[in-house]
Structure 1
């Protein structure tokens, strides 16, 4: 703000529809990828990369009329539990969701910057980006974080949304360099993803409705938590449930805890009964 109380000319001058480009030109130090990770090592064994909380595991799957994304609530710092209630799934805009795994702080900042990027585009252009365009923008943001990723502060997001042109849900995965890959039917990322993907392969089937897709996502996270110590399962004592969201033609919708609780209780009861029969 100038002495007269007016915004600088840069804020009033017509320019790119990309908020990231604007920020890179006028305040590049605020971009996640421009931060300095002092004391880090490439392996992340010592320094900031080794101490930063890590978020794990995200799953997404398509169902008839949309897509569901879910994430567990645990963040770890080495062998310690850094948080039991971290949120890793966010609305990117009205018709899409983004989940983060890897360095939690950088990932949350990246998700917020992505939200701003899509909102800025919509205000400047007066229309929504296509789902492919949103996926490409996220890849560009991730590529800008490569310097920190080389120091061990890696973020690997999962992006999913409802394609208004095709009328279906779609899922996109990424690598740390910003490479974008469209996935079919279901996918997972994070330290527990190898177990979650195995669960999804057995549980997913064509024609799932939203309620059944939510149950499959919760069960995949439960299976991941059973084998991966960095993934937190549903906490029935503290009543902490996964973050689960659906995206359909009606938009982004976070599934309330009141709806998740009976799903989790039914799953735990079924596993307990199965164990008793052995």
Structure 2
């Protein structure tokens, strides 16, 4: 598989998929503070040149959103993607369906998913969270995450391209220091929250899973010029069963589906920073 295929744009729905399935968090799951992610302004489209750059370098999830966040231009008037008719029978229930949530860890990332549709959905949701986290902006933790969730055959080339993409110039443009840390007095916010998952193709040792997500990205703090914003997107992951677990072979991202903004009052920078520090993330299980 060429690297151009790795993260080179949206992928269509596969044949033979199953019905929609919303992810759920299990009450007994351990909160994982290391997870997090975010995205840009849902009403501002990134410049077309930015999207082309992301397609070329093959960077996943949050980097795409962060580039949009750093380079946002005029207000967009799009609908966040073409609506698709629901599958026959409607979405699957959120109640547990038999497979126990995983208890293993690969670093800070859940591991040991079942080799079935539930396991593939759970893996894809957790990988989306990890790949969109704050830790992706620092080299050592980024390398650990990418190695933990990807097929080893894809890792080295992917890391080389990511390291070029997460350049000092890019990090500076989103308000971070050259090493990916936040300036003193500011809190960098980066979180992904999966809303639901759907298997679109399943064939024994391979699976294609779509993860519908909302996220946050920005800098919280009194002196911030890049406030925390929300976005919506769908991540498509092509997974393979490698060494007893699901691993990502390739991934792509598209905007939406995006709901209409509510009338909630925007919180202060301090409130956002306190919330990020006080509320840990989740592990996800179907």
Give me the TM-score of the superposition, normalised by structure 1.
0.27
Q: Tell which structure's C-alpha radius of gyration is larger.
A: 1
Give me the TM-score of the superposition, normalised by structure 2.
0.26
Q: Which structure's residues are more often helix, by fraction? A: 1
Higher relative contact order (CA 8 A, sep 6+): 2
